[in-house]
Structure 1
Amino acid sequence: MKTSLSMNLMPVLVFMISYLFLDERFELYHLWGTLLILSGLLIVQFRSLIKMYRGKKG
């Protein structure tokens, strides 16, 4: 699970590094892409926490 988390965050991290060091311009599609990636990761993490909680309870 940790590998998929870091692999999915790679585009966001690459943009942040290129923005800081290569003077990449911030565009609206960067924001939308980041929001999509982060929301997808939050959904997956939330679903895994629910499964883990239900497994301990029952």
Structure 2
Amino acid sequence: MCQMKVVVEKQGAEQQRFEDVSSLSVDGSTIRIATLFAEAAEVKNAAIRSIDFMGGLVLVQQNG
């Protein structure tokens, strides 16, 4: 089983990195990220920019 990583970028710079992501959900401009070993997190004013299924990476762009 391969877990995903999520990288959150703001103004072109990496702000947060989530490892071992087990689920990701989108509600409007809020992205909820759950991991295996930490509390779930919310990234507000954000959108998914790209998903690399082979590389196991989701790139999220946070605005504002």
With structure 1 as the length reference, what TM-score do the two structures score?
A: 0.22
Asked which structure has the greater CA Rg, the reply is 1
With structure 2 as the length reference, what TM-score do the two structures score?
A: 0.21
User: Which structure: greater strand fraction?
Assistant: 2
